[in-house]
Amino acid sequence: MSRIASVFKQPAHKALIPYITVGYPSVGATLRVVPLLASSGCDIIELGIPFSDPLADGATIQKASFYALQNEVTPKLCLKVARQLSQKVDIPLVFMTYFNPVFSYGLNEFCNACTKSGIDGLIIPDLPPEEGSGLEAVTQKQSLDLIYLLAPTSTEERVRLVAEKSGGFIYLVSLTGVTGARDKLSSGLGAFVARVRKVAPQPLCVGFGISTSEQAKWVAQRADGVIVGSRIIQLMEADDTFTAVGNFAKELRCALDELPNGEKL
């Protein structure tokens, strides 16, 4: 069993998964905030490798990627940062990136470097499962989970294919569109999670748009984990002591822990 899969084996436990962009607002900030998130109740942390054309990301994460690139944050530096973080925290670390940087680095070389740096999995939004066999073979050899995404518009055929291929968990995109904090979640989200659950044995984690503890609790009643990105980055921008980030993570953790007996609706 992978370290990511083991997170979901805890009885009645809902996974809290924050996202941050490596190197934003600085590499030092990344090295400080990840241990803070881990100590505040987070179970897995997504480390975003900045990319010049982040198609799945909204304005907040696009801006973070832009400034991280201005700070000369490269995949090689992200690997170095991950290695340092893996020595500071004992929870799984996942890279979220796009296929071009991985391909440019070299599939074998990148995955080998990930393993050596303490990375447990990869999320690549622009890699469809129909085209992922090459990377799947390499990740399996390196004991990395390759985590695929599904959207509300995914066909039944795509859902079945992802259920066959995804490692660790399946990333459910809460809406059609890009990342970003939102006031409301899609009214059809519950039905979407239920549709995937009928087919997929993997844990289901929902991201895109979750920005409050109330939203996180609502999602966790239906899914196995909650992914929060843009709101974390906004709080990092507003408070360079990261007190607000830690408090927000603890608030989310408390909201998820209030669910009775791992309740699902």
* CA–CA dist 122, 134 (Å, integer): 14
Catalytic: 57? yes
CA dihedral sign, ordered 139, 151, 245, 99: positive
- Tell the residue number behind the tokens 């340092």, with chain if given: 84
Cα→Cα distances 31→38, 43, 67, 103, 234, Å: 12, 17, 17, 26, 17
Residue of 46, 120, 145, 224 with catalytic role: 46
Q: How far apart are the first and last CA of the chain?
A: 27
Cis peptide before 50 (omega within 30 of 0): no
Which two tokens mark 221?
Answer: 């009643």
- Tell the residue number behind the tokens 């054309």, with chain if given: 53
* CA–CA dist 226, 125 (Å, integer): 17
Residue of 57, 120, 145, 224 with catalytic role: 57
Catalytic: 46? yes
Which two tokens mark 106?
Answer: 């070299």
Quick check: 210 and 219 in contact, CB under 8 A?
yes
* CA–CA dist 147, 167 (Å, integer): 5
- Tell the residue number behind the tokens 């000369």, with chain if given: 72
Residues annotated as part of the active site: 46, 57
